[in-house]
Amino acid sequence: MKVLVAPNSMKGSLNAFEFADVVEKAFFDVSSDFIVRKVPVADGGDFTGEVLCRALNAVPVEVEVKDPLGRLVQSKYAKIGQKAIIEMADASGIKLLRSNELNPMETSSFGTGQLIRAALKDGCTEILLGVGGSATVDGGLGMLAALGYKLIDEQGRMLEGKGGSLRFVKKIEPPALVENFTVNIICDVHNPLLGKNGAAAVFGPQKGATPEMVGELEAGLANWAGVLENQCGKDFSGVEGAGAAGGIVLPLLACCNAKIVPGAAFVLNQLNFQEHVNWADVVITGEGKLDGQTLCDKAPKAVADVAREQKKPVFAIGGTVTGEATDAFDGIFSMIPGPISLEEAMSRSGEMLYQFSFEFAKLIRAMRF
């Protein structure tokens, strides 16, 4: 029996590759008759860059950049031909900060801009940018600063590219030579820039914003959107996805040849995913939380859609599971055996996934799909 294992990452615990490895081991421990093919997937969230890098056999290129608080760190992008794969989280991510360092008034996307600049100097003309896992709500000010743009306040002074500068920007001055490149922004959210579903209100608290900071960031992002509209002639603040990654999408749309691409569909297309499903008898996917949000262009739903098109049975494994996602799959299961704290669930995720997958493999073998 041919089993395709195509999970998304479990945020905060197993990444997609680890998830697939655990399921594969469980199936092989049940029977050597199983033929398992692992195709980890992503949707613009955590590990999107790594999924694309491995799938496309891109070559990693190490770069020293500034982290969200301006400290030097080793980061990377991946290159294939004239295409660069960049994961925002590798330079401007929450994973680079301790919990007591989270402060979106001070954090900056400068390091992400440094990665883009390094890729351009390396001859790349197309950027695939995964924007999940960021620590910033700076509207992309830091990124623009790293690309050579000057951020000017009302008195003509240059500003730092950070969240706290958003309220004070009055104009931007592009560099003398503006590089010609395209950006595909791989995104898994539909949030606009402003309002109750916007970058500050929804993502600010996740990145350390107090209620007062949320208000300041909202006002700052509104000011910044106005500056870009005045200089570029278009208002991108209402575009679906403009609020992703603390608003970094906004200046990319306004100042660069950029477009937002639905993350899951884009990644599956890059993976030639239909061919993998065509090979399989059974498809297994999953992520940390399977709920109503799973139906909103998340990777497991995209996997299920391809499987359903080819009339292949598809099952989803998650940690937290709610009823909203049930109809998208032929079966949806929680790997958690009973009441347990979130901390314990995260620390034991590999063990629990193995135990569930082992029992599930026995069921699959008995049913002989």
Q: pTM of this prediction?
A: 0.90
Tokens matching residue 42 = 């992503």
- Residue 232: other Cβ atoms inside 10 A: 14
- Rounded CA-CA distance 336/320 in Å is 8
Token pair 């996602």 is found at 325
**Domain segments of the chain: what residues?**
2-40+278-367, 48-263
- Rounded CA-CA distance 317/315 in Å is 7
Q: So what's the pLDDT on residue 287?
A: 94
Q: So what's the pLDDT on residue 243?
A: 95
Tokens matching residue 25 = 């081991």
- Rounded CA-CA distance 22/36 in Å is 12
Q: Does domain 48-263 have CATH number 3.90.1510.10?
A: yes
Tens of pLDDT, residue by residue, the chain (369 residues): 999 999 999 988 899 999 999 999 999 999 999 999 999 999 988 889 999 999 999 999 999 999 999 999 999 999 999 999 999 999 999 999 999 999 999 999 999 999 999 999 999 999 999 999 999 999 999 999 999 999 999 999 999 999 999 999 999 999 987 888 999 999 988 899 999 999 999 999 999 999 999 999 999 999 999 999 999 888 999 999 999 999 999 999 999 999 999 899 999 999 999 999 999 999 999 999 898 878 877 999 999 999 999 999 999 999 988 888 788 899 999 999 888 888 887 889 999 999 999 999 999 999 876
Q: So what's the pLDDT on residue 352?
A: 95
Burial profile 268-277: b = 16 or more Cβ within 10 angstroms, e = fewer: bebbebeebb
Nearest C-alpha neighbor of 258 from the set 241, 277, 283: 241
Q: So what's the pLDDT on residue 264?
A: 94
Torsion of CA 142, 132, 184, 168, to 10 degrees: -30
Q: So what's the pLDDT on residue 179?
A: 84
The per-residue pLDDT for range 199-222, each reduced to its tens digit, is 999 999 999 999 999 999 999 999
The architecture CATH gives domain 2-40+278-367: 3-Layer(aba) Sandwich (3.40)
Q: So what's the pLDDT on residue 342?
A: 80
